[in-house]
Amino acid sequence: MKRTSLYQNHVAAGARIVPFAGWEMPVQCGSILDEVRAVRQSAGIFDVSHMGQVRVLGAGSLSAVQRLFTNNAAALTPGRAQYSLMCQPDGGILDDLIVYRWDDGAAEPDYLIVVNASNRETDYAWMVEHSCGEDCTLADLSDDFALLAVQGPQAVGIVQGLAPAADLAGIPAFSHAAATLIDGTPVHVARTGYTGEDGFEIFCAWDAAPAVWDSVVAAGAAPCGLGARDVLRIEACYPLYGHEINTSTVPYQAGLGWVVKPKKGDFIGRDAMLAARAAGLPRLRGLLPDDPRAIPREGAPVRHPDGDGTVTSGTFSPTLNRAIAMGYLPASAEGEATLPMRGREYAARIVDLPFYKRGS
């Protein structure tokens, strides 16, 4: 099992450590529900250094990125980022990721791709194989970067206070900039996240992360683990690879058609995705059990007159004070469904996503 450079910080905070995607990671530092509330009401900090980072640079870097991913990277100017997908030729999703237009002093455009921890090695191998013929270089920098996510209504103020010389509060969503913390540590700050709240993700050198973590915690952010992160992303209805998305799902099923740009030209899986969109495949929906304490778990069946479905993620939401779940159902399914769980049958309303949206 691997450890991030923040492992000792987690141990010192009394975190419960669990295996995750080949890493020893904190699942909780205190109460998961309290950590969720901290992010929704003030600020929390997460260790996401287990995520992978791949650099793509060279004269053919844009051509490679356009071929590999579904979104239109030609729209990215330096300092901007976009959510995107990497898919198989049949349209199945290999991973969801963020593409940063990096241009860190390079003469030609270059990109930093942040991928899921569970897919680091396979994603990099796929990118290398399928960028062949383009005049570009790919480098796996996953062991060079540490990545910290500071999320919540007070997150921007906390990070801005640690880097007063940079206008971080003025960075728009899905933008990023270099900054220097008051202790002299160089960082790169992106206004991105996976919680449904405002905030930043901070890139820094691997060995610098423990001091950066301590500074953010001292400024008021609550240490949080993967348990709270999962609850937060389910509330906001962000997909998790291996749950809502995988190689058996195409983007339009998961409500991710907005990051598929067929008009940009050919890319891997383009034609298959368009064909699947017209086929009326099952799509991702929300489920609200009538019993607010009846939590549907991953893999649980969902019964509906139009056809059966399957739960992909479920949890108790402290923000909504009730059980919530996502799952795939026939495209025509509306109204009520039935959830057979633990020897009983529970009624559940089918609802559109998301369950929670900041500001509403």
CA–CA distance, 66 with 174 (Å, rounded to integer): 18
- For residue 303, the tally of other CB atoms under 10 A from its CB is 15
- Dihedral angle computed from the Cα positions of residues 214, 38, 205 and 52, in that order, rounded to the nearest 10 degrees: 150
Residue 280's pLDDT is what? Answer: 86
State phi, psi for 207 to the nearest 5 degrees.
-80, -15
Structure tokens at 24: 């020893």
CA–CA distance, 139 with 144 (Å, rounded to integer): 11
Contact call for residues 214 and 282 (beta carbons, < 8 A): no
State phi, psi for 64 to the nearest 5 degrees.
-65, -45
CA–CA distance, 151 with 191 (Å, rounded to integer): 10
pLDDT tens digits, 53-90 = 999 999 999 999 999 999 999 999 999 999 999 999 99
Residue 134's pLDDT is what? Answer: 82
State phi, psi for 84 to the nearest 5 degrees.
-155, 180
Residue 108's pLDDT is what? Answer: 73
Sign of the alpha-carbon dihedral angle for 229, 235, 240, 243:
positive
* pLDDT tens sequence for the chain (360 residues): 999 999 999 999 999 999 999 999 999 999 999 999 999 999 999 999 999 999 999 999 999 999 999 999 999 999 999 999 999 999 999 999 999 998 766 667 799 999 999 999 999 999 999 997 789 999 999 999 999 999 999 999 999 999 999 999 999 999 999 999 999 999 999 999 999 999 999 999 999 999 999 999 999 999 999 999 999 999 999 999 999 999 999 999 999 999 999 999 999 999 999 999 888 899 999 999 999 999 999 999 999 999 999 999 999 999 999 999 999 999 999 999 999 998 999 999 999 999 999 977
Residue 106's pLDDT is what? Answer: 63
Residue 272's pLDDT is what? Answer: 96
Residue 128's pLDDT is what? Answer: 96
Cα end-to-end span (Å), the chain = 41
CA–CA distance, 327 with 286 (Å, rounded to integer): 7
Residue 105's pLDDT is what? Answer: 60
Contact call for residues 338 and 348 (beta carbons, < 8 A): yes
CA–CA distance, 270 with 69 (Å, rounded to integer): 10
